[in-house]
Amino acid sequence: MNPELPRALSVQQLRQECDPEKVSLRSAPEKAEGDLIGQERGLEALHLAAEIRHSDFNLFVLGPQGTGRHTAVEEILRTQASGRDSPDDWVYVNNFVDPHKPVALCLPSGCAEKLRDEMARVVNDLANDIPALFESEEYQTQRRSIDEEFGERQEEAMADFTGRARNEGVALIRTPMGFMVAAMHDGKVVKTEEFEKLPEAEQAVIEEKIARFQTELKDVLANAPKQEREHRGRIEALNAEMAKRAVSGRIDEAREVVGKKGAASDFLSWVHDDMVENPELFLQAAAEQPDGPFPEVTGKAHLQPLFRRYMVNVIVASGVDAPAHAPVIVENLPTFDRLIGRIEHISQMGSLVTDFTLIRPGALHRANGGYLVLDARRVLGEPYAWDALKRSIKERSITITSLGERVSLFSTTSLEPDPIPLDVRVVLVGDRFLYSLLVMLDPDFQELFKIQADFEEAVDRSDETLGRMSLLLRHYADKEDLLPPADEALARLLDESTRIAGDSKKLSLRLGPVTDILREAEHYARASSRTEVLKQDVERTLDERDRRASRVRDRVREAIARQTLMIDTEGCKVGQINGLSVHELGEFRFGRPSRITARVRMGAGKLVDIEREVELGGPLHSKGVMILAGYLTATYALDMPFSLHASLVFEQSYGGIEGDSASCAELIALLSALSELEIRQDMAITGSVNQLGQVQAIGGVNEKIEGYFDVCAERGLSGSHRVLIPAANVDHLMLRDRVTTAVEAGKFGVIPIRTVDEGIELMTGVPAGARDSGGTFPAGSVNALVEARLREFAMARKTFAARIRATDGEENP
């Protein structure tokens, strides 16, 4: 065997182990509890978005879950918000001119609740004062005077008419149909038959009188409604004058509370004018006030429906309990209504009605003047929520609309509230895939979210980062009231963090899985009555987590052990090789060996991927097979047609196959079938290959090695079992103890390779061979045998073609 071939890796290369001394409190760096490790790029973007004052510089935070994105966003935003003033308050009030268009009022911070409470007190006070004023002797005297004046005027008009008519012998008669006039003679009304007996000249005189007085009667009666209107006007003027006495004084007192200038004062002026014009509301409310032994009911007049028109609907308020700085709102359920607000309805007499007091604020209202944090996937998953959010950011205002009316679910009384100006920094938190989709599919996205904070998944493993991570885990245990972890336990947790990162030179910044392990280990420590979490508790946690998720893996191993799935781990075979694959079930991944076989014969240069032909192979797997064809055609028998027909298949594969990590194994199987050299079955291989024959890195290398190791260990390790991996994957190795223990005992090995030639030489024991200056492979080498076989196919194809042509010529002279 070539002495220059790569050798098996040492235990130190297969697994990194943290020295407990490096994570002890004595060597831990002094860092704040909230520090994020390795996220400088993302934190800089967060600070920029929080501090910049220009609009549209909204932020999208992207990265994997568990990297502390939400915590970092909230901490930075709250710190920045604490240095900013509280935003203005906003309220909705009644539009006395057009009630279906409520008016939005902007008030100084802290004034909204003052105005609301003061208006309730104003209504309660006037509900007592105005009825009392209208029951006073002064009002009653003036009211009687007006009534008597107009009564006398009406009586005088009728008396004057009656006297003049009587003087001329005409009587005024009241009938069920109204008033009428008739002729009189000797103090009696002249009947029709008597009237007809009178001389014609006398009849003409009487008819002239009757017609004249009938006309005058109409004028008198027609003047009565005019006098009645004048009467009502005088009463209304009196009522307004009396109401103004009470309202003006009470409104002036309210101005002392809420301010004599600004929107609140303007609203009080509108209320003053409406109350003066409608004092009957207070009189009606007093008339409807229930009698009884409950005096407390009379102090809540503002709760009566009659007075809702004077109430104040607080949308955003900086009250006593609210923080005196800009808000930071985290909305975990960003539906359409919860984002921009909603208009509620109540049932009255079988129909749905609403008014301005039923307007409810949304997250944008509460975050106005500060920051709003949303989960991007949830926003996009809610109907119309994303469009509403974009529209509000674009227009810099919040317009409350009814979703039911928008989608025509029902038609009912609705409102058109004034839009409220919007000044907010929106922060979306999502993953990289979602960010890419938004960039590609939504033309508005990058205009509205100009900053991205990209959180790292891993950080370089060094003494400093090990110390900082250990300190962070200690702080987490203290914060969650967990038992303190021992140094050895912390070191084991950090090693598992490296395993999660999939790189022996890195530490995963996904703290969620690591802290989950710590909490479960703490449970086992408490169950064992210990006062701290030990390394054995962490090891037990990892074993238990593996066992809980490993049902499918165990069934696969059982099938291999019973030869239901045929895998050879001893002996040698031509055109047969053990490839390695990874299966994922949620967060659990496990590796397993797969038998790959290749068969060759003379043909027209076709390499058949059986998986692709039956549509079980994915595009990446198919790409890998096509690369094999490119390698073969560019490496062997360059001066002759490619005359190979070959087939490749994953034996006993009944599901989809994706990825190119088996392309190296497939190529070696093909070379074995062409050279007719046997491949060692006590070896397995993983890695992708390019057209130059170089072996490239793949994913899941730890699980693949462990999957093959477990199969071999169950059958008995002979000391010859090996796994070939790409040399580029050496830095990704973080194998379990069971594997490294076997390696240290010389019962198992992991060998890195860089080229296909190294792989075929290790698996066949025959030198691969390189072309000499004359372009010839060494005799007996793998490559020489492959090229000779391909030339043989080409010559056979040429001979067969000549024979076919000769046969055709004899049949067609």
Residue positions annotated with a catalytic role: 661, 704
Largest CA distance in the chain: 164
- Assigned token pair, 267: 């609203």
Quote the CA–CA distance of 253 and 430 in Å, as a whole number. 53
CA nearest neighbour of 31 among 493, 465, 471 = 471
The answer to whether 394 and 347 have CB atoms below 8 angstroms apart is: no
Handedness of CA 291, 296, 299, 304 (dihedral sign): negative
CA dist 47 and 371 (Å) reads: 13
Q: Report how many helices (DSSP H) and strands (DSSP E) the chain contains, helices first.
A: 28, 30
Burial readout 514-553 (b: 16 or more C-beta within 10 A, e: otherwise)? bbebbebbbebbeeeeeeebbbbbbbbbbeebeeeeeeeb
Residue 675 burial (10 A CB sphere; 0-12, 13-18, 19+)? buried
Length of the chain: 813
Half-sphere exposure at residue 444, Cβ-oriented, CA atoms within 13 angstroms = 11
Measured in degrees and rounded to the nearest 5, phi and psi for residue 346 equal -125, 155
Half-sphere exposure of 398 (CA within 13 A, CB side): 29
**What's the rounded Cα separation, in Å, for the pair 33 and 473?**
9
Q: Is residue 176 helix, strand or coil? A: coil
What is the secondary structure of 317-365 as a DSSP string?
---SSS-SS--EEEESS--HHHHH-EE--EEETTEEE--GGGEE--HHH
750 in helix, strand or coil? strand
CB-count burial class (<10 Å; 0-12, 13-18, 19+) for 359 = buried
Chain-centroid distance of CA 786 in Å reads 58
Helix or strand or coil: residue 324? Answer: coil
CB neighbours of residue 346 within 10 Å = 11
Distance CA 809, CA 813 (A): 6
Copy the structure tokens of residue 724: 């070939």
What's the rounded Cα separation, in Å, for the pair 428 and 448? 11
- Residues 45, 436: contact at Cβ < 8 Å? no
The owner of tokens 């060759």 is 600
Q: Using CB atoms within 10 A of its CB, is residue 588 exposed (0-12), middle (13-18) or buried (19+)?
A: middle
Q: At what angle do helices 511-527 and 487-501 cross, to 10 degrees?
A: 140
CA nearest to 57, candidates 426, 326, 331, 380: 426
Distance from chain centroid for Cα 186? 101
Nearest residue to 709 (alpha-carbon basis) of 739, 743, 747 = 739
The owner of tokens 């032909």 is 613
Distance CA 339, CA 599 (A): 63
The kind and range of the H/E element at 286 are helix 280-288
d(CA 751, CA 754): 10
Single-letter amino acid, residue 135: E
User: How far is CA 532 from each of CA 19, 494, 511, 514, rounded to the nearest angstrom?
Assistant: 19, 17, 20, 17
